[in-house]
Amino acid sequence: MKRLSLFLAAAAVLTPGAAMAALAIGAKAPDFTTRGAIAGKTFTVTLSHQLKRGPVVLYFFPKAFTPGCSAEAREFAENIEKFKAAGATVIGMSADPVDDLVAFSTKECAGKFAVASAGPGIVSGYDVALKMRPGMTDRTSYVIAPSGRIAFVHSEMSYAGHVKSTLAAVEAMKTK
């Protein structure tokens, strides 16, 4: 466990933009319940229920069907089996309404993982409000340990690197 903590602390320092995220490694992740969609079907998502299965990659993205957000969703979908092999659940989050996310979950996420609507309480709790565009979230990815603590953070507006860094973090958790 000590080696995992050292790895995660080093990764946070070396990860581009990690210092921008409001929730620090080791902080308690705010629990939430919201509506989401997977493969075009809506359902209720509760973080604490997802954490009972293992780590959760909670990635916030600005807006469904924009070029970077679509590319990021496709990259997560292409790597979803690796996340599952590491015991992790992936959940995409944006301030979009659920109706928009229903289509996004099928087209861009290929029905492979859930996307959910981040209301004002979730956006505030995770401090992911996009300052320059009210009503949107910034691009921040959190890896949340089953304990409910933040284990890894990648906060950078470019989608490049979010999948690779979060996958490395969950794989490191599995080996520790």
More confident call, 59 vs 7: 59
pTM for the structure as a whole:
0.87
Q: What phi and psi, each to the nearest 5 degrees, are found at residue 113?
A: -155, 165
Q: What percent of the chain has pLDDT over 70?
A: 87
pLDDT digits (tens, 9 = 90+) for 35-53: 999 999 999 999 999 999 9
pLDDT at res. 143: 98
Q: What amino acid is encoded at 55 in this protein?
A: P
Domain annotation for the chain: domains and CATH numbers:
2-175 (3.40.30.10)
Contacts of 145 (CB under 8 A, 6+ apart): 51, 55, 151, 173
Q: Is 109 a catalytic residue?
A: no
Which residue is it, tokens 């979908």? 77
CB atoms within 10 A of CB 166: 28
Cα 53–Cα 163–Cα 158 angle in degrees, nearest 5: 135
CB 89 within 8 Å of CB 54: yes
Could you say which of 21, 64, 69, 102 is catalytic? Answer: 69
Average pLDDT rounded to a whole number, residues 115-140: 93
